[in-house]
Structure 1
Amino acid sequence: MALLTLFLSYPASVGLLCALIFVISYFSTSSGKSAFKWPPGPKPLPIIGNLHLLDMKRQDKSLLKFAKEYGPVFTLHFGFQKAVVLTGYEAVRDALVNFTEEFVDRPPIPIFEEIQHGNGVFFSTGELWRTTRKFTVASMRNLGMGKKSLEGQIIEELGFLIESIKAFEGEPFGLRTFTTAPTNITFAMLFGDRFDYKSPVFLTLLKLIDEVMCLLGSPLLHLFNFYPFLGFFFDDHKRLLQKVEEVRVIIRDYVKTSKINARTDGLRSYTDALVFRQKEGARQRKGRQLFHDENLIASILDLVMAGTETTATTLQWAVLLMMRYPSIQEKVQEEIGSVVGQGCWASYEDRKKLPYTNAVIHEIQRFITLLPHVPRCTAVDTHFRGYFIPKGTTVIPSLTSVLLDPSQWETPHEFNPGHFLDSEGQFVQKEAFMPYSLGRRSCMGESLAKMELFLFFAGLLQRFTFQPPVGIAASDIDLSVPKTTFTLRPRPQLTCAVSRE
């Protein structure tokens, strides 16, 4: 009704156009049964579809409610767009593992089309996506991702983070402080060098990433994605594009520098590797050049955003949860102390001897459901679980529904490290643990994220005990309503780091 009121407040020509859209939408959604069997779902209204039934701030929770009524596979109408939603461990895993090629594409999301124009690693499709992703994974591995050689770099960054925390001398400081270290690891891989935490470029990038992520979670931005032809009514997507362009300016400077200092061996960064691949392709002149400047910038931009936000936000949640559950924090510290020698840092290999600590880290990722879902798209006409899903249909595999699936977790809505422990207290990996998604579109940086989370989390608890500020009890810390951005961030809160030395 709010949308109709908005339309009627504009001149007659606009009202006539909206009336025409209304009629077309009505007949398109109210026609007889299709020759193919679509998944069930709530009946859509003209123009708005099922938007009136969604909580725009927590769409993932709305999807869980629909699943109770319509089953694990159902249809929703986001405005004029029809989407198939997959919920629960069985359905999501079936789609992403057994139908990985059928559900491998990304739908054309308007805001990302405006930002990337079909380029980059995450929202591209076809040959461009396959080639860019394969190259990116190989390049990041060459730079140490998933290898022990990167462990020393993470431990060194941990030292810088600890020094910045010690400077607060036990006084309260914001959780956002913990974003610096994991962000710097990503930047070092992308650009070749870490930043000083007070570097103007580093602070500018942190601020821009924060603003972009907040805007991506804006309800008005969702409306732009549903009705891009009404973009002139909205401002959030315009502000977002401006912020992204400011990030691009910094990236272009690094690409320009890399081209000037191009070397044929000893590539120090992902940017260097991209520039080298571009020149190599130009020399060979074989087929279409996929590593053009637009794809270079877009690929780096993807990793600047996604490669920093996820791990940095998870680390904030980790500290907040340790404040909320001090007995769990104490048990982690006792276990690390019994395995790791005094004056030594926990190594990544030590996780095998630290089952409780490992379980806590996994439970943090499960409990926070950091990235509720990233849409897929059918690459071909697909028959799935008795339904027909045409090529080009948006498909939403709900990771929240998997991580909170009551058939897979004893207490899905409680923070319980026991989900990953057997009766003897040994760590148990669960198939339903899929915060990084599955299949060919799974997170490329999974191995890096796992190493960072373990080393940063264990190292911080070796050195500090995290407590709420004076006057706030641990039980008063609210974990129920996170701040919705592109990921589910915790609300801005303060912590105190008490030295254990």
Structure 2
Amino acid sequence: MDFSGAITPALLLLCLSCLVLYLNGKSGGRKSGKMPPGPAPLPFVGNLFQLDPKEMHRSLEKLSESYGPIYTIHLGSLPYVVLCGYQAVKEALVDQADDFSGRGDFPVFYRFTRGNGIAFSNGEKWKVLRRFALQTLKNFGMGTSSIEGRIQEEAQFLVQEFKKTGGAPFDPINPVCRAVSNVICAVVFGQRYEYQDANFLTLLDHLNENFKIMSSIWGELYNIFPSLMDLLPGPHHQIFRNFEKLRQFIAEHIRCHQKDLDPDAPRDFIDCFLIRMEQEKQDPLSYFHTETLVMTTHNLFFGGTETTSTTLRYSFLILMKHPEVAARVHQEIDHVIGPGRPPCLADRKHMPYTEAVLCEIQRYISILPMGLPRAVTRDTPFRGFLLPKGTNVIPLLSSVHYDPAQFKDPTAFNPDNFLDENGAFKSSDAFMPFAPGKRICLGAGLARMEIFLFLTTILQHFSLHPTVHPCGDRPDAPMHRPGQCSPPLRIQAPPSLAGGGTHTHR
């Protein structure tokens, strides 16, 4: 007998709501406080029907027009305080950095990490692991000029990969992702991979697939209703299968490192962590154990691969869409660097327009529009409210980058946002691609170096041409959304750069 016709949408919603109530009802209430006002939530589902899960940040920005720069939204049964605009985000994450330094609820990652690693731990564990990671990565050159040669070398490998196409149209994203990933692999694993290495390609496929699913409606719904989504079929389950494969890959590297570890000559981040584990093996309260190493390594690998490679991807798209901008960058490269040597970090201070373009690209795309959720570490007074300890906070970084009080005509792509009246580079406190405060991205310095060196090296050797018409100018056009509008490119080498002249058409 077919009962499908008897299942009405209202009945289905009622059943799901009851299930959500049962699964989430055990979480307990928060301390009383004085939370900011916001839209009235429905039982169980909160404000879900007022949001577009496919573009959550746009919905939250829209709500701020009615409720102001700080308001409360309910995602399922949990309240989140939303910070919108430069002033609100700065006052919280910078001026009250310690109070807003907790990591908020992120179920899609918590199911995998269980609070281990750096990105999703809290309290003393987070502080100890972060201090260790910062010092260790610094020792291996991350964020300093000593890693410059490694990036330059990888950029040349990437150039050779591009040359193999012979100017035919192709999608550059996969080789770019491999190049970026190889830099963090050298620091964490102590080795780089050939671009055709099967295991390496499989690993990056898992990483890219997870990023896409987590950015989709399935990932958003999982973060709102994790217990419910665990029971429902859908592509979100692939996230955890991929995570497990990544965990196995990292665990195998750790086992190999353990076999030939020399405590007097650590080769990479994993070696340093293993040495610290041995030093503290008698301490039952130590945060240095194998599972924490696996998750910390995963955090570094994921963070050091996906966002930088995606930023470079959108750099290509934007430069194709704005050929006049690309022409000026080419001119600056020709004038400052020329054809005879690879770009270096010292060139940046002599290339204000290129630096402005790179910052404007990151502002314009706002690749992590909602950042990662924060939480207050104590009962926190903020703008006349009292946020109870543990309150989840969403810092809308996209609203900072599109704040009209900070950037003229923010919906338009305009490198002049980072140039003064004399054409010199001008920084902005409202430039927050790596999220400000105590939780600023560990790899921010490395990412800045990679974006500059990879892109200038590519543009030194090639020009970029779309094979289809570029996306539209509106900020909600597909190009403005990572994951959309990715035409193949025709990448051509210039016929000559002799004499150091300018080449607008290369």
Establish whether TM, by shorter chain, passes 0.5. yes
Instruction: Give 1:175 shift.
Output: 3.7
Residues 66-98 of structure 1 show CA distances to partners (whole Å, capped at 9, x for unaligned) of 111111100101111111000110110110112
Code of the aligned partner of 1:240: I
| Equivalent runs, 1:307-346 vs 2, <5 Å | 307-346=304-343
Unaligned runs of 5+ in 1: 29-33
Q: Which amino acid aligns with 2:179?
A: A
Matches within 5 A, 1:457-468: 457-468=455-466
Q: In structure 1, what is the Cα distance between the partners aligned to 2:225 and 2:301? A: 28
Counterpart-to-counterpart distance in 1, 2:21 and 2:330: 65
Matches within 5 A, 1:391-406: 391-406=389-404
Q: Check conservation: 2:336, 2:351, Cα contact below 8 A.
A: yes
Report the Cα offset of residue 342 of structure 1.
Answer: 2.9
Per the alignment, residue 260 of structure 1 pairs with 259
Per the TM alignment, residue 111 of structure 1 is displaced from its structure 2 partner at its CA by 2.0
**Shift in Å, 1:491:** 3.3
Distance 1:6 1:200, change over 3 A: farther
Hey, what's the Cα distance between the residues in 2 that align with 1:147 and 1:92? 28
Q: Counterpart of 2:263 in structure 1: which amino acid?
A: T
Task: Show structure 2 runs of 5+ residues with no match.
Answer: 1-6, 497-506
Q: Please name the residue that 1:31 is paired with.
A: none
1:276 aligns with 2:275: yes
After TM superposition, list the pairs within 5 Å mapping 1:103-122 onto structure 2: 103-122=100-119
Distance 2:433 2:312 in 1: 14
CA–CA distance in 2 between the matches of 1:429 and 1:194? 34
Distance 2:419 2:472 in 1: 28
- Hey, what does 2:11 align to over in structure 1? 8
* Rounded Cα–Cα distance in structure 1 between residues aligned with 2:40 and 2:135: 46
Question: After the TM superposition, which of the residue ranges 336-345 and 111-120 deviates more from structure 2?
Answer: 336-345
> 2:336, 2:479 → 1: CA distance?
37
Q: Cα–Cα, structure 1 residues 317 and 490, in superposed 2: closer, same or farther, change >3 Å? A: farther
Tell me the secondary structure at the aligned position of residue 72 of structure 2: strand
Alignment check: 8 A CA contact 1:36 1:388 kept:
yes
Residue 228 (1) aligns with residue 226 (2): yes
Counterpart of 1:443 in structure 2 is 441
Q: CA deviation at 1:265?
A: 2.6
- Aligned with residue 428 of structure 1, among 426, 429, 452: 426
Alignment match, 2:147 = 150
- Report deviation, 1:171: 1.1
Residues of 2 paired with 1:83 and 1:241: CA distance?
25
Letter in 2 for 1:390: P
Q: Which residue of 1 aligns with 2:244?
A: 245
Q: Does 1:306 align with 2:307?
A: no
Distance 1:396 1:50 in 2: 15
Is the contact between residue 99 and residue 376 of structure 2 (CA under 8 Å) also seen in structure 1?
yes
What is the rounded CA distance, in whole Å, between the counterparts of 1:294 and 1:311 in structure 2? Answer: 26
In structure 2, the residue matched to 1:388 is 386
Worse-superposed segment, 172-181 or 316-325 = 172-181
- What percentage of residue pairs aligned between the two structures are identical? 37
Aligned with 2:221: secondary structure? Answer: helix
d(CA) in 1 for partners of 2:134, 2:373: 21
Q: Which residue of 2 aligns with 1:294?
A: 291
Q: Distance in 2 between matches of 1:272 and 1:489?
A: 35
Asked if structure 2 preserves the Cα contact closer than 8 Å seen for 1:105 and 1:377, the reply is yes
- RMSD over aligned CA atoms reads 2.5
* TM value normalised by structure 2: 0.90
- Secondary structure (helix, strand or coil) at the match of 1:439 reads coil
2:367–2:433 CA contact under 8 A, matched in 1: yes
Q: Secondary structure at the match of 1:134?
A: helix
| CA distance in 1: counterparts of 2:18 and 2:56, whole angstroms | 29
Q: Is the 8 A contact 1:175 1:493 kept in 2?
A: no
* CA distance in structure 2 between the aligned counterparts of 1:490 and 1:214, rounded to whole angstroms: 10
Distance 1:397 1:219 in 2: 20
Provide Cα deviations, 1:249-280, integer angstroms capped at 9, x if missing partner: 11011000111111113322111111111112
- What SS class does the counterpart of residue 280 from structure 2 fall into? helix
The corresponding residue for 2:363 is: 366
Tell me the TM-score normalised to structure 1 length: 0.91
Q: Secondary structure at the match of 1:49?
A: coil
Distance 1:489 1:135, change over 3 A: farther
1:385 offset after TM fit, Å?
Answer: 0.4
Quick one: distance in 2 between partners of 1:7 and 1:188?
54
> Does the Cα contact within 8 Å between 2:83 and 2:395 map onto a contact in 1?
yes
Contact residue 20 and residue 44 of structure 2 kept, 8 A: no
